[in-house]
């Protein structure tokens, strides 16, 4: 046997590629994330417990620890999930060429997030209002690049003479604040409107008004 052949024979077989998670496992993880999101939103990180989350799902704590090894890991996973959905909507602005249409689409995406994920918004708000003690690094790494891209988009429109020049960073903060209010303050808004919860037409009205206010502020 040649040296090359002996070397080939002695080499270990290539490692098999890791199998992708099974669909059942992914479904269970998503169920855990959604229940954890609701409980972290209601009780905060300190008040929520793994036992409470597991009990609500009808599984044992030990079974849940098979998917998430600790409360800290589960909390991070919830915030990762929320932030991924929130950041996805931030790409809307940069893809637009017409300022009014792009702003309208962006506001719609933010309000849709507030309507569909109020618990996620609440978890996110709690963390940020506390100074993001557990999530500051990820928040800066993932949100800041998107914010800079959106500001550059506004600056590009301003250079083309399509909009007036304002402080675009603070304009983004205003858009975030007013759209997120429709998640964080939705129960109060519904109470003042005399209904159990906000309806689709309320979010449509908010979308039209917020878009109009932002676009009007940018007219030359």
pLDDT tens for each residue of 63-113 = 999 999 999 999 999 999 988 888 877 777 878 789 999 999 999 999 999
Measured distance CA(25)–CA(158) in Å, rounded: 48
Return the CATH number of the domain spanning residue range 78-217.
1.10.357.10
121 touches 178 (CB < 8 A): no
How far is residue 38's CA from residue 126's CA, in Å, rounded to a whole number? Answer: 12
pLDDT in tens, 178-219: 999 999 999 999 999 999 999 999 999 999 999 999 999 999
Q: Are 67 and 29 in contact (CB under 8 A)?
A: yes
Q: Residue 9: count other Cβ atoms within 10 Å of its Cβ.
A: 8
* CB of 146 closer than 8 Å to CB of 87: yes
Where residue 8 falls among pLDDT bands split at 50, 70, 90? very low
Report pLDDT for 115.
94
Instruction: For 112-131, write each residue's pLDDT tens digit.
Output: 999 999 999 889 888 888 88
Q: Would you state the pLDDT for residue 87?
A: 81
With a cut of 80, say whether residue 36 has pLDDT above it.
yes
Output the pTM of the full model: 0.79
Cα(215)–Cα(205) distance, integer angstroms: 15
Q: Output DSSP code: residue 15.
A: P
pLDDT of residue 95: 81
Per-domain boundaries in the chain? 78-217
How would DSSP label each residue in 42-67? HHHHHH--HHHHHHHHT--HHHHHTT
């Amino acid at each position: 046997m040649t040296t090359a052949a002996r070397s080939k024979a002695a080499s270990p077989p290539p490692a098999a590629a890791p199998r992708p998670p099974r669909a059942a496992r992914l479904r269970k993880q998503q169920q855990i994330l959604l229940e954890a999101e609701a409980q972290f939103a209601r009780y905060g990180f300190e008040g929520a417990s793994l036992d409470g989350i597991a009990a609500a799902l009808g599984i044992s704590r030990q079974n849940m620890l098979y998917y998430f090894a600790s409360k800290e890991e589960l909390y991070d996973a919830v915030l990762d999930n929320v932030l991924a959905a929130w950041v996805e909507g931030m790409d809307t602005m940069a893809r637009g060429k017409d300022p009014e249409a792009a702003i309208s689409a962006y506001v719609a995406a933010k309000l849709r997030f507030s309507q569909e994920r109020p618990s996620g918004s609440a978890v996110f708000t709690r963390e940020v209002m506390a100074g993001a003690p557990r999530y500051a690094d990820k928040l800066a790494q993932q949100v800041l690049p998107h914010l800079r891209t959106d500001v550059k988009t506004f600056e590009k429109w301003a250079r083309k003479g399509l909009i007036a020049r304002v402080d675009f960073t603070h304009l983004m903060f205003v858009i975030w604040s007013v759209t997120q209010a429709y998640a964080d303050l939705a129960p109060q808004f519904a109470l003042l409107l005399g209904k159990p919860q906000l309806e689709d037409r309320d979010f449509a009205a908010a979308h039209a008004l917020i878009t109009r206010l932002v676009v009007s502020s940018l007219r030359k």
